[in-house]
Structure 1
Amino acid sequence: MMSRRQGFQLAGAAGLAAMGGMLGGCASGGGAAGGSSGTAAPSTVRTPVGFAVPPGACDCHVHVFPDPTAFPFWSGRAYTPPVATADDLLALQRALHMDRVVIVQPSVYGTDNRATLDGMRQLGPLRARGVAVIGEQTGAAELDAMHAAGIRGIRVNLETGGVTDPAAAGRLLDAAVARIQGRLWHLQIYARLTLIEALRARLAALPMPVVFDHFAGAQAAQGVEQPGFASVLELVRAGRAYVKVSGAYRASSEAPDYPRVAALARALIAANPERIVWGSDWPHPDSVPVAGRGATDIAPPMPIDDGRVLNLLAEWAPDAGLRHRILVDNPARLYDF
């Protein structure tokens, strides 16, 4: 069984890291996975986009997984994704009519942000920004270099680390805040609703923007009355937090249109349309353990149709002006485009 320290290490790789000491020195270890780096990832856009995507639109949550011989995975990872390069991401951007993108450091690289930074470099500063994972070994000079490269936040992934105790989560958040204090960065958090509710007052008082991943961990089957969702709405309404309406399949198993997710999305948008951003979660890595599949075996991505998922935004926000805020204005402000 994975120890608590190992669990924190895995979570830190996706964003828990800013927490001094939790990742130790495991940032860059790990061998390469199999797979051909020269083969383009298959398109995830099978349904054409059915509405006019405004110029400057941004996909605020993607990952890149380049050639693992050049960018080795972390030895403590929980899964191994197939290759998905910056070129593949650019093809996705064009298919979705997106002009901007935010690359989020995934757990499989630990605190070694080179793959994320290289993806941003390939796409260029007019198109790409990033969210990093840092550890106690990440110094001020490295943070400065990350900012110059386009990093605009760090991720704290409490959910992947199995952190459910509010006291422990609060200590980790405090450490993260201390690491980026004074920088024009935000704190991206993936946590369950019960934690957000328990930490609501602390989150509301943070000196930097807070961004909640994937519908703030809400589950569509439980509706808008589920415990903790009101706290998220309160933070959003007060302008103290952003929410990514991303990864609908993480909030619901009702593929392909996730009908009950609509109530969550509409409630969040109604609370404060200035604090909502959209993300595809491409290339949809599947980190769920599967019997007989080891951490170094390639895990196929989830079979998501990104065109169909983007079309859901037009149902959640039928007004073109609302969509402009979600796709253009809010990301430009949050990620400094």
Structure 2
Amino acid sequence: MEAALLGVYTARMSLDRSDPPVAPQPPTRPAPEGACDTHIHMLANDMPMWPGRVEDPAALGFADYLAVWRAEMAANGIDRTVVVQSILYGTDNTVTLRTVEELGRNAARAVVLVTDQVTDAELDELVARGAVGVRLNYVHGGVLTWDGVEAIAPRLADRGLHIQMLCMADRHLPDLASRIAALPVPVVLDHMAWPNVSAGPTEPGFATLCRLLERHDVYVKLSAPYRLAEAPFDRLDDHIRALLAANAQRCLWGSDWPQIMLNGARRASGGTLLDAFDRVCPNDATRNAVLVDNPARLYGF
């Protein structure tokens, strides 16, 4: 299934070059001390890329991208980062792990890409270099399958790794919820599980997501609203309120910087995205939980 979806996605996108990252724009209210952006990608045009990628990074080297990211962190008041391996580099996690090394283990963690056939030795090396999770893309496909996730999950659990997953709430969660709940590791769902915005937060798949947050070791990233709605992203306010009400202790925030493979979406600065979260967040205690305490607990900061 995943390979077929990747083929469809690739067919509708040309191998274009990403635009350079947008200039940092500070939020109205900086993030609190210890805040973590739990979803960024590090890119570089001077590192080997996966032949199956759907676009190239901007014409910037690793040092350039890292400098822009440091400026983004400073502008938003972000102290910690979770670097998620981009499919542009396949299972060569070098750019992601190098970012963790450069930022330091007090400030960065990695979510990596592996195949169904990943070995124990490979997992051990990834953990030693700062990996805390592996990613499954159930929307576009990629290098890891759902069957592979279920097969390797016990070995991930032995190493304290979690599974990060991109899926669509309405299409996938009604069928997958029980299998997600049965996994022996935490599961982190990207981008609010890509909800059907027009169906509202009572849509059955999204309601399933809320129940998973309430009852199981499942987290959700309040990330990438720009992929789902136009700024100021208020069409998603009720979805975010529902997720916070279901279990604010299982919600995380991420900017999706530098926002690649847009497929028609319009980029938004991290500051704008923090402002959108603040508009909905009910109080400082919840804000601190989402931005500081929850990622510290999950990622081991």
**3-state DSSP class of the match of 2:56?**
coil
Instruction: Report the RMSD for the aligned CA atoms in angstroms.
Output: 2.7
Give the letter for the 1:276 counterpart: C
Sequence identity of aligned pairs in percent? Answer: 36
Q: Deviation string for 1:91-121 (max 9, x for gaps)? A: 1111110000000001111111001111111
Quote the residue 1:260 is aligned against: 235
Equivalent residue for 1:322? 286
Quickly say closer, same or farther: Cα 1:158–1:179, change in 2 above 3 A: farther
| Partner residue in 1 for 2:80 | 100
Paired residue for 1:14? Answer: none
User: Conserved in 2, the CA contact under 8 Å of 1:285 and 1:302?
Assistant: no
Aligned residues: 290
- After superposition, what is the alpha-carbon deviation per residue over 1:39-65, rounded to whole angstroms, capped at 9, x for unaligned? x9554433x322242110000000011
Contact persistence 1:10–1:77 (CA under 8 A)? no
Q: Counterpart amino acid of 1:238?
A: R
In the alignment, does 2:124 pair up with 1:144? yes
Report the Cα distance in structure 2 between the residues aligned to 1:129 and 1:115, rounded to whole angstroms: 13
From 35, 41, 51, the equivalent of 2:29 is 51
Cα drift, residue 170 of structure 1: 4.9
Structure 2 residue matching 1:111: 3-state secondary structure:
coil
Structure-to-structure mapping, 1:105-254, within 5 angstroms:
105-161=85-141, 170-193=146-169, 194-252=171-229, 254=230
Partner of 2:13: none
Code of the residue aligned with 1:222 in structure 2: it is A
TM-superposed CA distance for 1:4, in Å, is: 6.8
The runs of 5 or more residues in structure 1 that have no matched partner are 12-32, 163-167, 291-300
Distance 1:280 1:134, change over 3 A: same
Residue equivalent to 1:277: 252
Partners of 1:8 and 1:286 in 2: CA distance: 13
The answer on whether the counterparts of 2:162 and 2:187 sit within 8 Å (CA) in structure 1 is yes
Contact 2:227 2:262 in 1 (8 A): no
Kindly provide the amino acid, as one letter, of the partner of residue 147 in structure 2: R
For residues 242 and 113 of structure 1, the distance between their equivalents in structure 2, rounded to whole angstroms, comes to 23
2:270 to 302, 306, 312: 306
Q: 1:116 to 1:170 in 2, by over 3 A?
A: closer
Q: Equivalent residue of 1:199, what SS? A: helix
TM-score (norm 2): 0.88
Cα distance in structure 2, aligned partners of 1:311 and 1:5: 37
Residue 287 of structure 1: how far off its partner (Å) = 4.7
Deviation of the 1:76 alpha carbon: 0.9
Distance (Å, rounded) in 1 between the aligned partners of 2:241 and 2:278: 11
1: CA distance, partners of 2:225 / 2:71: 22
What is the deviation of 1:266? 0.6
For 1:245 and 1:217, locate their aligned partners in 2 and report how far apart those are by CA, in whole Å: 10
Q: Which moved more, 1:309-318 or 1:95-104?
A: 309-318
Give the structure-1-normalised TM-score: 0.79
Query: In the alignment, is residue 76 of structure 1 matched against residue 55 of structure 2?
Result: no
> How many angstroms apart in 1 are the aligned matches of 2:31 and 2:298?
19
Given that residues 251 and 294 in structure 2 are in contact (C-alpha distance below 8 angstroms), is that contact kept between their aligned partners in structure 1? yes
Contact 1:223 1:264 (8 Å CA) reproduced: yes
Structure that is richer in helix per residue? 2
C-alpha separation between the residues in 1 aligned to 2:177 and 2:126? 29
Does structure 1 conserve the Cα–Cα contact (< 8 Å) formed by 2:17 and 2:55? no
2:48–2:89 contact (8 Å) kept in structure 1 = yes
Please give the alpha-carbon distance, in whole angstroms, between the structure 2 residues aligned to 1:60 and 1:10.
Answer: 28
